[in-house]
Each structure stands twice: as structure tokens, then as C-alpha cells.
Amino acid sequence: MVRAKTLMVAAKRAANEFKTKLSMKSGRPMCKPSMVYLQVTDKCNSRCVMCGTWRDSDKVEHIPLELLKRRIDELHAWLGKAHIQLGTGEPFMHPEMLEVVRHGNSRGMLMGTVTNGFLINDNLAEGIIKSDFFNINISLDGVRPETHAITRGFPQAFDQAVAAIDRLVFYRKKLGGVRIMLKPIIFRGNVDQLIPLAQFVRDKGLNGINFQPIQRNNPACDELMAIEDFDELRATFEQLKRMRGEGYPILNSDREFDAFAWYLEDPKARPPLLDGACSVGYTNVWIMDGGVVHLCVGLEMPVGHVDDLGGFPKLWRSPEAAKVRKVIAACKRPCLASCLIKRTLGEQFRRFTTFMKNR
């Protein structure tokens, strides 16, 4: 069932590629977004240095379940079967997270998320597998506890993440289903652990590893970007390219690794991978705070609230959205977040086939 849904969503995404190019040339959205990010909560139990969400975590409320269900129904009416990533804070802090996923599945959606793993005990791990997630991304930035603690703010973060992975793998073997990935960031303290992380993924039988360089979100990030040995960094990326060719489930392309090296050596420069106008305003949509729509979370320019603008189809074609798309198209920031990276159809296909392999 999941495989059939996945193939359908992948086919729609490929077909949408041509419409996206036409949309960018004409300035009119003839396409629909191929990736939806739906906030379920802003609460977080981590202390990540590159994110400030947790600082006000005790002051925010979860998005109500019924509102989340309504948004999923509206998205289904607009997009049909689509891929929805749930998150923003730590998604499993939402007490009804699994019910959100089950509702999305009932509408034919592919439901995924990113988690730090802190809350995934045996009961939750079994519930995650039974809820038929499409993908679970685990944040793990090193193979040593002290390394992962640098970015995540807790000495116990490594042990909790690895325990979560082991539990998910255990229940997946019993029940089948969910694709499990690692999503590490690259920073000064873990260059020597990127290759061991890829080996960890293969040894654990996970579906993939998706590297992403740390982004310049605050002064602490600038410090963590100060790579000391660029020869080691470039050699590591070349080895990861070879490992992918040898069958390691590495999802990044050669062009991505080249862009990462370029960016980490000069964070103000714009890698060739990012040449041309950014298309994210036509391919992605973020739904925050129960209905506030963004076309790029890197810009503080919400399009507006979906209810105020008459629903998703009208909002997507609205003058407000057109204004935001113009700003996005002209943006020259070196964005290399995995959700924003520009990939060719060939790169998307190789990424998809790697991710879909049974392990």
C-alpha cells in the first residue's frame, strides 16, 4: 500500500517539475507544491544551538488535533496524495501525534517527520511502526556522545537517539514498514565522524543518511562553521561519494557535497549548485501556527492565513503569494538546507531509489 502511494507521489512530483519551470518563466503558479511541511507543535525538549524554538517552548501550545485534521483534509482536496512532513519543534511532544499520522494515512498521504528520539520508548516505537509512517528522520550528528552533545545541548542526547534507532529497527523487523533515516548536520566538531556515520547507517540497516551543513542562524553557528582543516573536509566528501557508489545509502549527490565544501569554506559565497532563481516558492509550502502559510521558512514573509485568503488554492494563486515568490526568486543567500536544495530529476530519481530500497 505504502509503495503504491509512494510511486504515485513520486510520479506526480516528476510531472510537476515541468510545470514548475513554466511557472517560474511566466510568474504564474501552474504547478502545485510537491512538498508540504505542517507544524504540529512548537514545543521542544532539546537545546539545539542552531535553533531557538526551545527557548520559548514552555509558553506555546500544541496545534489542536481537529485543526490538524482539517488542514490535512484541505490539503488532500487540493493536492490529492502528497508528502507531508510534520514538525517544527519536537513532534512527538504532541500527545496526539500518532493520530495525526493515522488521519493523514487515511487520506492517502505519505506522512513523515524529524525527531531527536528523546521520547521514543518501546511503547512509542511500536506505535510509530504500527501507525505506518512513511519516513522517520533521526537527528544524530556524530558517533561519539560528546560530539552529538555539542549541537543538541544534552550529554544524554546521543544515547537517547541511538536507543530510539534500535527500538525502531527492532519493531520494524517485527512489523515491517517505516523507512528510517539519519539526518546529521556537518560542523567543525564532526568532520572526522561523517564516514563513521555512513557506516553506522549501513550497519544498523537504515534506509539512508542525508547530510546537511550547519546553517548561519546565530553567532554560535558561525563558531561551529569554523572548519580547521579543509583538506580533510574535501577528502571526506570525496570518500563519501565513493561510498555511495559502493552501495552505502547516502542520499546526497556529488553536486551537493561540492556545494557543502564551497559553503563551509566561504559561508558568504553562493555555490554553483544554487545558480539561477530559487524555485522553492513553487515547490514547497509550510503551514505554521495552524494556518499561516509560508513559501520559504528562511524568509520572514508569510503569505497570510489560509482561512483569511479563502483556502489553499486561492492563497497559492493570490497577489500576496506572487509578491513573496518575487522576493524568493531574487534571493541570493546560500541556502543549503536539505528541504531547499535544488536537485535535477536524475538526482531526485537516484535519491528516491536509494531511499526506497528494502534493508
| Residue range 142-160: mean pLDDT, rounded | 94
| Predicted confidence (pLDDT) at residue 218 exceeds the cutoff of 70 | yes
- Residue 4: band (very low, low, confident or very high) from pLDDT cuts 50, 70, 90: low
CB 81 within 8 A of CB 9: yes
pLDDT of residue 160: 96
| Residue range 265-275: mean pLDDT, rounded | 82
CA–CA distance, 333 with 313 (Å, rounded to integer): 28
CA–CA distance, 294 with 342 (Å, rounded to integer): 18
State the virtual CA torsion across 113, 117, 122, 123 in degrees, nearest 10: -50
| Predicted confidence (pLDDT) at residue 10 exceeds the cutoff of 80 | no
| Predicted confidence (pLDDT) at residue 8 exceeds the cutoff of 70 | no
User: What is the residue type of 111?
Assistant: M
- Residue 67: band (very low, low, confident or very high) from pLDDT cuts 50, 70, 90: very high
Q: Which pairing describes strands 284-288 and 292-294: parallel, antiparallel, or unpaired? A: antiparallel
pLDDT of residue 207: 94
| Predicted confidence (pLDDT) at residue 54 exceeds the cutoff of 70 | no
| Predicted confidence (pLDDT) at residue 358 exceeds the cutoff of 60 | no
CA–CA distance, 258 with 235 (Å, rounded to integer): 11
CATH of domain 2-8+31-356: 3.20.20.70
pLDDT of residue 20: 85
pLDDT of residue 295: 95
Q: How many residues does the chain have?
A: 359
Q: pLDDT tens digits, residue range 246-267?
A: 999 999 999 999 999 999 998 8
pLDDT of residue 58: 67
CA–CA distance, 53 with 34 (Å, rounded to integer): 26
Name the percent of the chain lying above pLDDT 90.
64
pLDDT of residue 251: 95
| Predicted confidence (pLDDT) at residue 359 exceeds the cutoff of 70 | no
Residues 6 or more apart from 239 whose CB is under 8 A from it? 195
Q: 344 - beta bridge partners?
A: none
Q: pLDDT tens digits, residue range 322-353?
A: 999 999 988 888 888 776 677 777 777 787 78
Name the percent of the chain lying above pLDDT 70.
94
pLDDT of residue 40: 96
- Which region among 2-16, 193-207, 304-318, 336-350 has the lowest average model confidence (pLDDT)? 2-16
CB 173 within 8 A of CB 358: no
Average pLDDT, the chain: 89
pLDDT of residue 5: 62
User: What is the residue type of 271?
Assistant: P
**Domain positions in the chain:** 2-8+31-356
